[in-house]
Amino acid sequence: MFIGQAFRHTPLAYPEDWHVCPQHEVITAQINTLIKQHCDTIYGDVQVNIGELSVLDASEDNRLRKTINLHVNHDHIDTLANTVCPIHTERHQTVYGKLIELPFGQGTVDTACLINALDFTHDPHQLLREVERVTRSDGHIILTGCNPLSLSGLLHQLPVYQAHPFSSARFFSYYRVKEWLNVLGFSIKYRCFFGPANIFGKPKKIKETIDTIGSSSMRSMYFIVAQKHEIPMSVIKPKFAKVTPRLQSAQPSLRVK
């Protein structure tokens, strides 16, 4: 259950927004708190919030000059891919696209926000490769995911929770995602576990669960901030040593008479 095949042939249904989850107030409040605490020093030009779950108050209210919300949950996404919707403000823009085919050029994004995007894609490797492609050198990734080592990870396969929108989540472990990021050249700057022990249970008051952010690996979700590093590779022209021929004068016995 914990180390299954990452790729699936059948695409997954992406949630419409956080309101489909009964505990959305608690979870979104904690994600907003984490983003404000650990992403306040991220600067740049463009931040992309990938997926409807990534469109949060803290992810839109950032220090970057422009924020693009990429919506992927649409009935006619094939015909609306790469279509730019009307701009609401100078700093915010909405775009329709696909998770595994991001409609952005190479190295054009300073920060990519993926709130539980890996849990609702059939090809997480391709999604991370696309994020690595569009993220510039020294850019950042803000990522959250469902923790399979929590109580939620043990319960999400039960038939009683099949109607829950997060029952189809992939539940990739933090250590597995960390390995994927390291292969693509990202280093983890910060990570923590948060959320209620059981996201399928009844919602509780925010004040009672806001202190569930910590290092306990038994929480239902994890939060990652990673930075992309690239080593510049340039062709160095080999330097050949200059060999000076040594010419010796002819010996007296070798001179022509």
Query: pLDDT tens digits, residue range 3-42?
Result: 678 888 888 888 888 888 888 888 999 999 999 988 888 8
Residues making up the chain, counted from first to last = 257
How far, in Å, are 112, 211, 247 from residue 42 at the CA level? 11, 25, 66
Q: What is the pTM of this model?
A: 0.81
Asked whether residue 5 is domain-assigned, the answer is no
Report the CATH number at residue 162: 3.40.50.150
- Give the domain extent around 196: 18-232
Residue 48 main-chain phi, psi, to 5 deg: -115, 125
Asked whether residue 4 is domain-assigned, the answer is no
Is 52:197 a contact under the CB 8 Å cutoff? no
Q: What pLDDT does 75 receive?
A: 55
Q: What pLDDT does 76 receive?
A: 46
Is 25:208 a contact under the CB 8 Å cutoff? no
Is 192:34 a contact under the CB 8 Å cutoff? yes
> Which burial class, exposed, middle or buried, applies to 33 when counting CB atoms under 10 A from its CB (0-12, 13-18, 19+)?
middle
Residue ranges of the chain whose pLDDT lies below 70: 1-3, 74-89, 203-215, 233, 235, 237-257
Q: What pLDDT does 244 receive?
A: 65
Q: What pLDDT does 110 receive?
A: 95
DSSP letter for 141, please.
E
Please give the tally of structural domains in the chain: 1
Q: What pLDDT does 190 receive?
A: 94
Q: CB count, 10 Å around CB of 141?
A: 24
Q: What pLDDT does 87 receive?
A: 43
Q: What pLDDT does 104 receive?
A: 94
Q: What pLDDT does 83 receive?
A: 42
Asked whether residue 8 is domain-assigned, the answer is no
Asked whether residue 56 is domain-assigned, the answer is yes
